[in-house]
Amino acid sequence: MSESQYPDPIRRFLRLFVGNSVVERILISVAALVTAVVVSSLIVLVAGYLSGEAYNPLEIFAVLVNGAFGSPFDLDSARLITEGWSPINFSMGTTLKETTLLIFAGLAVAVAFRGDLFNIGVQGQLVLGGLAAALALVWVAPFVPSGLVGTVLLIPFGLFVGAVVGGLYGAIPGALKAYADANEVITTIMLNTIATGSAFFLVSAYFADPTLQSVKTRPIPDFARLNGIVFPQGGQFSLVALALALLATVGIYYLLRYTSFGYDLRVSGKQAKAALYGGANAERMVVSTMTLSGALGGIAGAMWSMMVIGAWRQGVPSIGFDGITVSVLAGNNPIGVIPASLLFGVLKGGSNAINFQLGVPPELVAVLRGMIILFIAMPEAFRMLGNRLGVKPDPAATAGGGSDE
């Protein structure tokens, strides 16, 4: 891999993760997760001591997970199941809503990673995709019959607009990387701020809802939103969206695994020279990969607008950054994105419960997020620990996918 002309942490990263066996990656993710929980528990203990409140980490994590599903287990009494609990409840809706958005954001990051590109810019693609979808729906809705026909027409339209705008915005760092050799890590970080700033400017200057004081677009008409069919309206979660997310996951898996496009993407990520011999256009591959990645991010943004807010407003949550954590935790495997997203969905869905029931700041989830990615960044540490404990690594699994030449 000495032919690379750029600092190639990404390549080394892939060598560490993607090259290794699935089992080892899962083990590393689980080990990182457990360590993150343990360290966060210590932080919670110290924080509780500082603030004079006796926080019990075990209780916090139990309430967190339990709360994410609407408290199916009655933790205070001997009864196992809470009376009157139903799987269809507000907290479950919140958890699955976050999961849905994270699946798209996680897929966006994972696709780029597979092509040896680090798309930190999913957040920006998401912001602009969401804004474009909201504006397009607000403009187009008056010309479309309301009711079911309108819904069937407008929902795909909104998602499509989000995907196109997100994809175009993702293509920018792709083209800069391919044709001007500009490091995509730096450019995507810059483009995130540019997206947030210009979206804020556009809405506050031109597209704000005149009846409101805040920086928010006009509302998307009800029939053009992804409404909760099964889950209570207030939960801001649509089963259709989750189904689309799962479908997208399978689609991306299939695309990467069984199509020639996916083959070129993976090969140009791992072995640029081999891809060239195979006839792939490396530059175009970089742009396509980033476009696909950006489109997925744009869909996440469109879903945020159409499902969660029903408009676009400033202060888009950091779904794109969480997508990085999700993808890293999933070892950049599309299928792995589902459990990783569910995990972060649970963390977010349960953060309200620890706040209301225990008075623990929901920001604890952000601490956990930081710790998880911190420990997942050091697979070697776990491997060394494993060796010291006498676990001999399987030579085939640790050879780094043979990419060490």
Partner 1 sequence: MSDAPPDGALTRMARWAATVGRIPRLVFGSLLVAAIFGAVINLTMPGSRASTVVGIFDTSFVESTLRIAVPIVFAGLGGIFAEKSGVINIGLEGLLIISAFTAVAVTHLLGGDAQSTVWIGLFAGVLASTLLALVFAVLVIEFKADQIIAGLAVWLVGLGLAPFLSIVIWGNVNSASIATLNTVTVPGLAEIPVVGPILFDASPIVILMLVTILVSWFVLNRTSFGRWIEASGENPSSLDTAGIDVHRVRYIGVVLSGVLSGLGGAGLVVGRTGRFIGGGQTMINGDGFIAITTYLFGNYNPIGTAAAGILFAGLEALQIRLQQIPFIPAPTELIRLVPYVAVIIVLAFVGYTRIPSEVGEHYESGEE
Q: Do 94 and 307 form a contact (C-beta atoms < 8 A)?
A: no
Q: Does 41 bind partner 1 (CB under 8 A)?
A: no
Burial 252-265 (b: 16+ CB within 10 A, else e): bbebbeeeeebbbb
Write the binding mask 320 to 359 for partner 1: x where contact by CB under 8 A, - elsewhere: -x--xx--x-------------------------------
| Count of CB atoms situated within 10 Å of the CB of 84 | 6
Please identify, among the stretches 11-19, 62-70, 270-278, 293-301, the one whose residues bind partner 1 according to the rule CB under 8 A: 11-19
Judged by CB under 8 A, which of 164, 191, 224, 309 binds partner 1? Answer: 191
Q: At what angle do helices 184-202 and 122-140 cross, to 10 degrees?
A: 30
| Count of CB atoms situated within 10 Å of the CB of 225 | 23
Judged by CB under 8 A, which of 16, 256, 302, 303 binds partner 1? Answer: 16
Q: Does 369 bind partner 1 (CB under 8 A)?
A: yes
Nearer to partner 1, 23 or 377 (CB): 377
Q: Does 10 bind partner 1 (CB under 8 A)?
A: yes
Write the binding mask 106 to 135 for partner 1: x where contact by CB under 8 A, - elsewhere: ------------x-x---------------
Least distance (Å) between residue 387 CB and partner 1: 13
Q: Does 393 bind partner 1 (CB under 8 A)?
A: no
Query: In the block, which residue shows the tokens 């995990």?
Result: 343
Least distance (Å) between residue 334 CB and partner 1: 19
Strand pairing partners for 253? none
Query: In the block, which residue shows the tokens 């591959």?
Result: 285
Least distance (Å) between residue 122 CB and partner 1: 13
Q: Does 222 bind partner 1 (CB under 8 A)?
A: no
SS3 329: helix
Judged by CB under 8 A, which of 41, 56, 146, 198 binds partner 1? Answer: 198
Terminal CA-CA length for the chain: 8
Tokens representing residue 33 in the block: 């997760």
Q: Do 233 and 247 form a contact (C-beta atoms < 8 A)?
A: no
Least distance (Å) between residue 375 CB and partner 1: 8
Query: In the block, which residue shows the tokens 């869905």?
Result: 349
Q: How far apart are alpha carbons 271 and 110 in whole angstroms?
A: 17
Judged by CB under 8 A, which of 50, 78, 80, 148 binds partner 1? Answer: 50
Nearer to partner 1, 248 or 272 (CB): 272
Q: Does 283 bind partner 1 (CB under 8 A)?
A: no
What single string gives the DSSP state of each residue in 119-165? Answer: -TTHHHHHHHHHHHHHHHHHHHGGGS-SSHHHHHHHHHHHHHHHHHH
Q: Footprint of partner 1 on this chain (CB under 8 A)? A: 6-10, 12-13, 16, 43, 47-48, 50-51, 118, 120, 176, 180-183, 185-187, 189-191, 193-194, 197-198, 200-201, 204-205, 315, 321, 324-325, 328, 361, 363-371, 373-374, 376-381, 384
